[in-house]
Amino acid sequence: MKIIDATNLDYRAVNEALRKTSSDCTVEGCCSQRFIAAGMSGKNITLKSNAQDAIGDTMNEGKILIHGNIGDAAGYAMRGGKIYIQGNAGYRAGIRKYLSGYCAGFGYSVEKRLSDPFTVIAPDSNNLYKQMYIAS
């Protein structure tokens, strides 16, 4: 797995580094850059910090595992793939949360997570952008 140090990089440089690698990546030292993994296809990315707005924007396929919080519009205009967030999501996050994949990504027990209070945010239709999201 390739490790990308994003400490002194802007979001364009981070995305360029992601596009250049043919393997799964871990991004470390991220200072809440925005648009990380925008337009990506077929990569698995682990982010070891918070991410700012529009992470995974126009993503086609792959997985982003975020050990932190995300800003607004995460996953906005996604055409495929999955984003799992360990922390909180900002406004207009177009994210589907699948508990088994979430638990596998962060090393949690499904049974333990189901016994803890949590909120599932899901669309109230099959079209992610047609209707409002509901909390259940």
pLDDT in tens, 79-103: 778 888 888 877 766 544 467 777 8
Q: Which contacts of 68-74 are long-range, i.e. CB under 8 A and separated by 24 or more positions?
A: 71/32, 71/34
In a domain, 122, yes or no: no
In a domain, 128, yes or no: no
Q: What is the extent of the structural domain holding 30?
A: 2-110
Give 44 or 53, the one with higher predicted confidence: 44
Query: What integer pLDDT is reported at residue 95 of this predicted model?
Result: 46
Query: What integer pLDDT is reported at residue 44 of this predicted model?
Result: 92
| Cα–Cα dist 63/124, whole Å | 23
In a domain, 118, yes or no: no
In a domain, 63, yes or no: yes
In a domain, 135, yes or no: no
In a domain, 46, yes or no: yes
Number of structural domains (the chain) is 1
130 pLDDT higher than 70: no
In a domain, 66, yes or no: yes
How many angstroms from the chain centroid is the CA of residue 119? Answer: 17
11 pLDDT higher than 80: yes
38 pLDDT higher than 90: no
Residue-wise pLDDT for 111-126, tens only, equals 887 777 765 555 555 5
Average pLDDT of the chain?
Answer: 78
Structure-token pair, residue 14: 């981070």
In a domain, 125, yes or no: no
Query: What integer pLDDT is reported at residue 111 of this predicted model?
Result: 80
